[in-house]
Structure 1
């Protein structure tokens, strides 16, 4: 049996060996932080607000709480702490297909063609195999449901979510993201349909063409498919994203929650935090929806109530709220943001259809300035009124509001 002195000698020797190891030889990962359950809930409500369209935060929260109950971690890393050589991917959702090819659904139904689960993860894995690189983090490509999808992908891949966003809002087209403004390509990209078809777009001429190609696949796939895209290094992320997108979502969700808890007006609290504008309070009297060319198009009209009684408000929707008019005069122009909110909760309104406004719904319209990058000449060319077919010069929301 080894005596106490011998054990002590071995222990001292081991400590001597360890003390000789240079600190530079011990590689520690970059700092990350784990979100609390309340932060996760606030982030999902805030992301619904950021989305500039209807959303269903309650359903996302239910899914997130189930993941937390399973012991899953919602981990965040700041852009500043992201290593330059890390590989980051936008694997947070899919491409919609409004006006889908109905006969595809009918035929596949008649064939009893089996569908697969979790095409979101499969698209990320497909892109990883194509690049022969492991992804180190996931980035949110837009607001809304993509917040939950980003964390789901990150949990499945065992990586953190970057505290940033490619758009700072939800947007109808893949090309509408600030990485495109900075010259960072959205390709290579990988798509997986509900039936397991795998499509790689190795190179697109630009992100406009990526949008065309991906949308065509979505429409031909019965109304949507998953896509993983924008593989970027940490260095590229630092120059081609809107920073703090997740942190802002947490802030917005916390703001409306605390206002309600204190018996205060959540809309007023939100407007103050975002330095925005309460533009209209009304009832939805018209919501003409159609699916076409892969998008949900909606023409909305509201009749004013309370302080806006006697006035009308119109919103043009292409998946998201794009441009609005007060009494037929432009009130908000893209790329500035239009939130359609529940006046009692401050959360985004709910609808069964993407971009929809249920008739008879009481809605508060809130506007705010877009991120500065969207207000540059390139940003306005990409996301301004003319991109959506309106022969209007962009006027910032703050100038439009001073003219009232």
Structure 2
């Protein structure tokens, strides 16, 4: 076994994050150190760091202002047992377990535990925050004694295709161990708030300065430069949440409209997707390049299907589209409706004909009309503010454990 190193080539009406912590009900860890001594945050994630840039990357990059961050991914199967490192910054390191091909499940758990223990011993980490995105990581980390445990529940993973059958049981264990639970939206908050005394909703936020540059003309990226307008765009993972039948009907209804899709196709057969001449799959793009694409679109869309996998989502792309100055049309995803649709920031459409009509309204400048209100909302819901509020709650929880 070795550890190797490599270099990297909400609406204001629902102010849930200000709930007070009750010292009598806080689940304390076994360790007790001064709050200022907590230097490390170890994150267990089901998502790859270099996959789509989303909630984990936004939050944990900001967490480096307060902690050394170690981002542990799910294992990769190879020829030897090792734990590779990739330094994203001097304060954030991605760790990837590599397990030998043919390793049986029980042995895989033991080996991951061994790799993590060796890593922590080598780094002399004994006072840390454990931050979970996947309850499945408890299988190899439940022996650790973090200062506090945070569960950032960004999705209802059990509703996704291919979810492990034991995920719900592991989430129950994680909820019992966690000191504090964050959720990626208000619907998720409502689903989890009765299961833990300290649940706080932190919906998708925005890096306004990054996306607002799209409001000024940007060079059109080469792979969409030859495509005519009007352009209606989507950016995100194309999976079981994506309503490909809606897209198919829209493309057939309006052959002159060009539908731009940025992002990877995962967990579904690409053959089921519409392949008409006005539907363009441009693949995954880097986060830094998204404003250039958005700047050369006319309308942005959120064509999500209404199914179990979308019941609790709070799409990060909603505020990003708005920050880019794009009118937005979405299917009636619950958190999108309550946060943006009810505020008249975007249009909500529940059928192909309604979606078509809404895009037409956006193309003719009929919606939205109050960009001042939109910008005020976006500025109040930055990722910087979200991390600051999360860390305030984390520090308060750690302080309570010292007082106890």
CA radius of gyration, larger in: 1
Q: Which category of TM-score, normalised to the shorter sequence, fits these structures?
A: under 0.3
Larger RCO, structures 1/2 (Cα 8 Å, 6+ apart): 1
TM-score normalised by the chain length of structure 2: 0.27
Which protein has the bigger strand share?
A: 1
TM-score normalised by the chain length of structure 1: 0.27
